[in-house]
Chains A and B, each alone.
Chain A
Amino acid sequence: MSAARRFILWAQALAAALLLLATTLALAAPLPADEAMVDARLKAISRELRCLVCQNETLADSNAKLAQNLRREVRKLIADGHSDSEVISFLTERYGDFVRYRPPFKPLTWLLWLGPLALFSCGALMLRHIVQRQKQQAAPPPDAATAARIHALLAQQNKDTPA
């Protein structure tokens, strides 16, 4: 067996084990019965959800009728022991991704989520490039007066040379 295939096999086994572990943990998660805990989770979840009928308010902040209904349903789901992701899929099934203030990571949002990272990388590369180019520039900088003279001469020359 080649090393590459062995590696792939190992990776598959590891992934399967992790999946199994995650499922067991998810199933074994204790049901949150405590009222205060339900409240806290409701607050946390509804802060990341959008009140659909308002201009731009979270479910937690809104007083709209629909928001109150949705909070009630979310609370019920939490009290019944559903996980956060189950609660969110309950809502996205009915209202779509619009309800989530934290957009899901999927092909449509790759640009959204990775854009800032890409911009940052570009910026960092540009910074490095400029700083290094500066370092390599051997000529000593002319002082301000000389620079102005050079400028004037260059401008004159540009004017004189036909395009």
Chain B
Amino acid sequence: MSAMLPELGLISLIAAVVLSLLSGALLFSGAALNDSRLMAAARPLAFALSALVLLSFACLTALFLLNDFSVSYVAQHSSTLLPTLYRIAAVWGGHEGSLLLWLLLLCLWTLAVALSSRALDPALLARVIAVMSWIAGSFGLFLLLTSSPFTRLDIPALEGRELNPMLQDPGLVIHPPLLYMGYVGFSVAFAMAIGGLMSGRIDAAWARWSRPWTTFAWVNLTLGIAIGSVWAYYELGWGGWWFWDPVENASFMPWLAGTALMHSLAATDKRGVFKSWTVLLAILTFSLSLLGTFLVRSGVLSSVHAFASDPSRGLFILVLTALVVGASLLLFALKAPALQSHARFEPLSRESLLLANNVLLCVATASVLLGTLYPLMVDALNLGKLSVGPPYFNAVFVPLMLPLLFVLGIGPVTRWKAHALAEITRRLGVVLAVSCLLAVLWVWSVGQMSALSVTGVALALWITLSALLDLASRLRKGQRPALGIWGMHLAHIGVAITVVGITLTSAYESERDVALAPGEHAMLAGYRFTLQSAGPLEGPNYLGEQAHIAVSRDGKAVATLKPEKRVYLSMPGMPMTEAAIHDGALSHVYVALADKIGDTAWGIRLYHKPFIGWIWYGALLMALGGLIAVADRRYRARKRKTQ
């Protein structure tokens, strides 16, 4: 039976593609004809689709576990020496498998939507499922035609070429699934936007239904990006955590747009405003996810996170993206003018501030897009080669974030419709003053004063104190804030914590390249690093050297760090650096081995990164806040009678 696994996987994938393309057509016509029997097929179809793709995915996983090297994809990304956990993760360690994972997650989202939306209008639900099926179908087609993971080799390989050592890390197990959950999750809001535009009904109920899905997708994307950042931080071995690399930008742009979408949806839900804008954002957020897939998979931009690329695949994804996005933007151009908002609001109101948030986030998204695509555009016009890197993005992004963070301290405590300026200043004036004062003290305790670090820390404190004050005043009034409120404040405090991390680590990190022989020591940022010993090391599929470095401060031992240098048997020419990190709550001490010097001495890179962990703790808190908001009972209320 196991001999037929690749064929079984392929057949179920083919069946899934055919089914999804057909069911899309069926459901669209059902909604157009208002045929309730056709529309009722949405749930069973979503179920069948998921089952087929899951079967296909299970086949591929089994092939990896069984070391079936007669399958080209398995032979290229696994080996008998590869530990079992990585053999499972290797399923998405390459282009073909990661697309299959993408497809699987899309189908699971489709199923989740079909199962949990009994409150939704049947025609709208049919259209949502139809849109998602067609996306699944076209990506399945892409998979089948250009990158099937089930292709057999003419002569089975005796041993696999093994997974890229860079990917043999717990990061591979969780980072891609989370990231894809996020990307693909935005397809729900997208499908809702298309369905809503087609039926011409974009209203508060529509927004309320879209909100938890969007937030949940955003939670996944937040975690995915954060874990990717941590992974790059310890794996690449030079202590960087964000490079403004095209691949990072490809995930960051949907995140920024998705963040804008969550906030815009809140306004549409609560007040029925910004309808066409929210719809556009829903379309753009998922479009940016697709664009990210295109950028990463086509190789039109070069990235430090190496991905195999192939121009013929690039063309296919480009055509796919162009069709999906082009059609939806055309639909938007035709239908959106008819959408009207009726609610009124004053210049100082929650609505205006959410709008300001959206403007800033969208300008930020567009700027990142501009910087990412600029080298490509210049090259396409044959005007030469350019690089756009961190100096550009920092120069553009930071000035946009400062006003956003300021607004973030006011928005959540401002009432809908209108709020008196005097009341805001009375409530928040003190908070602002206290934040500035505390920020000066904080920065002073960490290192040299600078305007930017004080501003960053002050804004973070401003957000935190304002959120805490709001919660306190609600509790004092005897209210029990809804989960949505808790989640919102928690996520905002998460943003503040991340901002502190970014500000302080960028301003006060320090590093040294030293050469140490056993017994010798070097100093950095008050820490004393002593190389105790260095010796050989043997792993399951690699050989290496490991150093023991004692770290102490003021005579007290802090940690013993064991950085490694590994040479994987599958890639002898490419030694891997495994950095060792001591995670103190307030700073990281980071040690990486460079090259061996002479017989016993080692080149060692020492880093001190104050508050760097806060970047990711903040992201965790953002995700947690999002999860709590998703759990709010408001979203699970039965459909209100609209007529």
Contacts and interface: CB of A to CB of B under 8 A. Distances in A.
Tell whether any CB of A sits under 8 Å from a CB of B in the complex.
yes
Interface stretch (A11-19, A27-35, A95-103): A95-103
Contacts of B355: 127, 130-131
Contacts of B201: 151
A94 interface: no
Among B201, B302, B367, B389, which residue has the most Cβ atoms of chain A within 10 A?
B389
Nearest to A136: B344
A50 B374 contact: no
A157 interface: no
B352 A131 contact: yes
A147 B204 CA distance: 11
A127 B356 contact: yes
A48 B200 CA distance: 50
Contacts of A100: 387
B389 A50 contact: yes
Among A56, A60, A147, which residue has the most Cβ atoms of chain B within 10 A?
A56
Interface residues of B, number: 52
A56 B302 contact: yes
Contact of A97 (B304, B345, B351, B385): B385
Contacts of B383: 108
Contacts of A56: 243, 245-246, 302-304
Contact of B392 (A96, A97, A103, A151): A103
Contact of A55 (B302, B352, B360): B302
A162 interface: no
A123 B272 contact: no
Interface string B314-342: 00000000000000000000000000001
Contacts of A130: 355
A155 interface: yes
B538 interface: no
Among A96, A103, A116, A148, which residue has the most Cβ atoms of chain B within 10 A?
A116
A21 to B, nearest CB: 26
A131 to B, nearest CB: 5
Given A116-B400, A119-B363, A55 B387 contact: no
A38 to B, nearest CB: 13
A63 B203 CA distance: 56
B360 A123 contact: yes
Contact of B359 (A101, A123, A135, A141): A123
A102 B392 CA distance: 6
Interface string B182-206: 0000000000000000001101100
Contacts of B371: 112
A103 B375 CA distance: 10
A109 interface: yes
B388 A141 contact: no
Interface of A: 47-48, 50, 54-58, 60-61, 63, 96-103, 108-109, 111-113, 115-116, 119-120, 123-124, 126-127, 130-132, 134-135, 137, 140-142, 144, 147-148, 151-152, 155
14 contacts: A54-B304, A56-B245, A58-B390, A61-B240, A103-B388, A108-B378, A111-B374, A112-B370, A116-B370, A119-B366, A123-B360, A131-B345, A132-B347, A141-B344
Given A99-B387, A109-B374, A112-B374, 17 more contacts: A55-B302, A55-B306, A56-B246, A56-B304, A97-B385, A98-B384, A100-B387, A101-B389, A101-B390, A102-B395, A113-B392, A119-B366, A127-B356, A130-B355, A132-B347, A144-B272, A148-B643
Instruction: For the complex of A and B, list the 7 residue pairs with the smallest distance between their C-beta atoms, beginning with the closest.
Output: A101-B389, A102-B391, A123-B359, A116-B367, A98-B385, A56-B304, A61-B238
